[in-house]
Amino acid sequence: MSKEETASYIKHHLTIAGRQDTLFSDDAVELIHLTSRGLPRSVNNIAWQSLIAAFTEEKGIIDEPSTRTAITETHATE
């Protein structure tokens, strides 16, 4: 997927889950796209781990540092 498609993909899944507000910052989405290379399964895995990282850090929005933490955790197990 392109960067725009990745952003739309994440937004679509959040809408299905009932979220209408911004949950992922633009820089987090860009990092997810770059790291996942636009592959849907990788996007899902990194986004999910980013949600967990942000929750652990008691953040209301998934930002780039939370995503970096998620990437470290995700790639450490592969």
Which residue, chain included where needed, has tokens 């990194």?
46
pLDDT band at 75 (very low <50, low <70, confident <90, very high): confident
Query: Which whole number is the average pLDDT over 46-54?
Result: 95
Query: Which whole number is the average pLDDT over 15-23?
Result: 93
Say whether pTM exceeds 0.85. yes
Are 29 and 61 in contact by the 8 Å Cβ rule? The answer is no
Provide the token pair at 42: 């990788």
pLDDT surpassing 80 at residue 71: yes
pLDDT surpassing 60 at residue 4: yes
Instruction: Assign 60 to helix, strand or coil.
Output: coil
pLDDT band at 18 (very low <50, low <70, confident <90, very high): very high
65, amino acid identity: P
